[in-house]
Amino acid sequence: MDNHAANTSPVVSFDDESLILVNSNDEVVGYANKDLVHDGPGILHRAFSLFIFNSKSELLLQQRSSSKRLWGGYWSNSVCSHPRQGETLETAVQRRLAEELGFNCPLEYLYNFEYQANFGDIGTEHELCSILVGHFNGEVAANSEEIDSWRWITPQQLDFELKSKPEIFTPWFKLEWHELKLNWASKIGL
To which H or E segment does residue 80 belong? strand 79-81
pTM metric for this prediction? 0.91
The pLDDT of residue 12: 47
Residue 141 near residue 103, CB atoms below 8 Å: yes
Instruction: Tell me whether residue 80 is one of the annotated catalytic residues.
Output: yes
Q: Over the stretch 18-41, which tens digit does the pLDDT of each residue have?
A: 999 999 999 999 999 988 999 999
Q: How many domains does the chain have?
A: 1
For the chain, the residue count is 190
5 has a pLDDT exceeding 70: no
Average pLDDT on 116-142 reads 94
**Stretch 51-63: mean pLDDT, rounded?**
96
Q: What is the CATH number of the domain that holds 132?
A: 3.90.79.10
Domain residue limits at 74 = 3-188
Catalytic residue, candidates 80, 99, 100, 129: 80
Q: Is 114 a catalytic residue?
A: no
pLDDT band at 15 (very low <50, low <70, confident <90, very high): low
CA-CA distance, 145 to 148, in Å (whole number)?
8
- Per DSSP, what are the bridge partners of residue 143? 6
- pLDDT greater than 60 at residue 90: yes
Choice among 100, 125, 127, 176 that is catalytic: 127
Q: Compute the distance between CA of residue 185 and CA of residue 190 in angstroms, rounded to an integer.
A: 5
